Amino acid sequence: MALRDQLRILVVDDMSTSRGLITQALDSFGITQVSVADDARSALDSLARFPVHLVISDYNMPGMTGLHLLQNLRGNPATRQTGFILITGRADPQMIETGRRLGMNNFITKPFVPQDLRACIEAVVGRL
């Protein structure tokens, strides 16, 4: 069984269009076990019930940023090892450095093309 058949991913973004573009790209890679959340709090609730291998999260969301979500994941023994990719429209060096210190596995900037998202994911989980 291929990795893409087993991989469970949670996509977190407050913009439905962005969630749709990400999930559409994942589907084109053959990844079918994808869940979505429209904010970080919902993502944490979902992860408590349905663990995943990888979280792909937007940075700029109301209430809690993607980096705050990452900090929560790394602080919880149940989600500490979950892969984390940050998607952002403004990848300034300080934000990326903070993400790396918190345990971010990779990041990608918006707008992205599906091939770049695939490469970003494969750098974290291995060849799809």
Does residue 12 sit in helix, strand or coil?
A: strand
What is residue 66's predicted lDDT score, i.e. its pLDDT?
A: 97
What is residue 90's predicted lDDT score, i.e. its pLDDT?
A: 85
What is residue 112's predicted lDDT score, i.e. its pLDDT?
A: 94
What is residue 3's predicted lDDT score, i.e. its pLDDT?
A: 87
* Six token digits for residue 104: 């971010």
What is residue 71's predicted lDDT score, i.e. its pLDDT?
A: 98
Residue bearing tokens 């937007």? 58
Residue 123 exposure: Cα atoms within 13 Å on the Cβ side:
13
- Counting the structural domains of the chain, the total is 1
What is residue 54's predicted lDDT score, i.e. its pLDDT?
A: 98
What is residue 49's predicted lDDT score, i.e. its pLDDT?
A: 95
**pTM for the predicted model, two decimal places:** 0.96
Q: What is the CATH number of the domain that holds 80?
A: 3.40.50.2300
Q: Which structural domain range is residue 68 located in?
A: 3-125
pLDDT in tens, the chain (128 residues): 788 899 999 999 999 999 999 999 999 999 999 999 999 999 999 999 999 999 999 999 999 999 999 999 999 999 999 999 999 998 899 999 999 999 999 999 999 999 999 999 999 999 99
Contact 108, 99 (CB under 8 A): no
Cα–Cα distances in angstroms (integers) from residue 76 to residues 45, 62, 72, in the given order: 13, 22, 6
Phi, psi for residue 15 in degrees, rounded to 5: -100, 120
